[in-house]
Amino acid sequence: MRSIFSKKSHIHFIGIGGIGMSAIALVLAKRGFSVSGSDKQINSQVESLIAENITIFKNQEKENITKICSGNNLSPVVVTSTAIPENNPELQEAKKAKLNILHRSDILNDLVKNQPSILIGGSHGKTTTSTVISTLLALCKEDPTSIIGGINPYYNNNAHSGLGKFLIAEADESDGSIIKFKPEIGLLTNLDLDHTNYYASIESLIETMQHFGENSKTLLANYDCPKIRENFNAKKWWSTKTIKGVDFSGIPIEQKSDRTIAKYYENEEYLGELNIPIAGLHNLSNVIGGIAACRIAGIPFKRLESNVINIQSPGRRFEFRGIWKGRKIYDDYAHHPKEIEAALSLARLLADNEIKNNDTQNCKIISVFQPHRFSRTKVFLKDFAKSLLNSDCIILAPIYDAGEIEIEGASSQLLANSIRMINPSMSVLVATDFEEIINLIKQKTLEGDLVINMGAGNINKVWTELNNLNYDPLNN
């Protein structure tokens, strides 16, 4: 199948540091394409692209387009994403030069059409499920190409250009572009209303995801999600709650703070016991979905069974960052109420285990939450308040705007008020900046506490700032 651009074309990414953009750029570069990009921030993804000798412009200005045009015989292809505004100077100059401008999803779709693909869609768990599938296929010597929205510990990167048969990628529903894809295997993790800047209702989200399901040669779906079970005709189903009427099941028999033991079934037939080194029932579902996708792809169960013990969670998915002054610090990408509930449920499991095993009462859960987008915060204000209640203390960061303009009815202070209305005794603190967040952690935590930073913005830099402190917080 022919590509939408020539192998000789130069491909320029506006905003190349984005987790999705950088992954596609890396795979194209590894496959021999000439690639460049621009980004205002030099993050770890950009640094990995620089290491691959990809030209990176540190400012987004129209002169960048002039430079890439002058150095190439063919007109460059410019790649943009929904995050890039229309007034971006590079985008405006590319339009003025009449260059071929493609959305990120168009490039991914081109890759999907040219090899058998497993695409993971859904509201939560896409990155973990994608990581599980990519890692298992790699451990089974299948060497897949992988394009995901997080750091896969197996590659220590968010992308890998493999020589094997399969392409594994996340199918992003946030802007509706998911309907472009026609994968060999489409996987649906779960559905909850999100991306309220694009979807007006859960019905509109379901309609979009139904298109994705219909476009998938084989749709594999989570039977435990009522919204999926009631609205989709999947060819294959998985569950962590029942073996009746489903194709793949993983029934938990033991939950620990660092793993889950489960009995695995296919078509109600018991095949073996899985020792899954990732805690949490939500992660058990992600793993069983990943195993099911690999089984549909033709991987023998025995090969998967022996390699499950080696899978790891992707970066920022309840990621243990380290111990600071006796406090255990975790990062989680949770930015939806359901994700916060799952993260805090796992945190509570760890805290209870700490109290039980070490005969201590000093293991409080301190949630540091950074709301992501004004639109999401306004719609889910009460749901966010409820989801945070499994904490012992809550520190709220300012809203990470993600390019949105501030709107009435959305603020961290309003979220704090909502929490106090539900539980007046809950300790809720609102910080104005990162310096205040660090000071509040110093003041409100004790040795033995568990601090979990949650959000899809830059809240993960709390660990970096804590780790850089060289003084005793109890004496400052």
Check if the beta carbon of residue 392 is closer than 8 Å to that of residue 366: yes
Residue 257, pLDDT score: 85
Structure tokens at 143: 């060497």
Asked if residues 124 and 282 have their Cβ atoms less than 8 Å apart, the reply is yes
Confidence of residue 162 (pLDDT cuts 50, 70, 90): very high
Q: Strand 365-369 vs strand 450-454: parallel, antiparallel, or unpaired?
A: parallel
pLDDT at 471: 46
Structure tokens of 208? 């979009």
User: In this structure, what is the dihedral angle of CA atoms 155, 161, 163, 167, given to the nearest 10 degrees?
Assistant: 100
Sign of the alpha-carbon torsion through 313, 136, 130, 263:
negative
CA distance 128 to 287: 8
pTM exceeds cut of 0.85: yes
Across the chain, mean pLDDT equals 94
Place of tokens 């018991």: 270
**What domains are there in the chain, each with its CATH number?**
10-102 (3.40.50.720), 115-310 (3.40.1190.10), 319-475 (3.90.190.20)
What does the pLDDT average to over 14-31? 96
Give the separation between CA 344 and CA 387, rounded to whole angstroms. Answer: 8
> What gap in Å lies between CA 171 and CA 217, rounded to an integer?
15
- Tens digit of each residue's pLDDT (9 = 90 or more) over 332-383: 999 999 999 999 999 999 998 887 777 666 789 999 999 999 999 999 999 9
Residue 429 DSSP SS3: strand
Q: Which of 143, 111, 160, 107 is nearest to 314 (CA)?
A: 160
Contact 430, 416 (CB under 8 A): yes
Q: Element (H or E) spanning 255, and its range? A: strand 248-255
Mean pLDDT of 219-235: 98
Instruction: Return the minimum-mean-pLDDT range out of 174-178, 303-307, 459-463, 465-469.
Output: 465-469
| pLDDT (average), residues 240-264 | 96
Residue 326, phi-psi category: left (phi > 0), alpha (psi -120 to 50), beta (remainder): left
Q: Tens digits of per-residue pLDDT, 386-412? A: 999 999 999 999 999 998 999 999 999
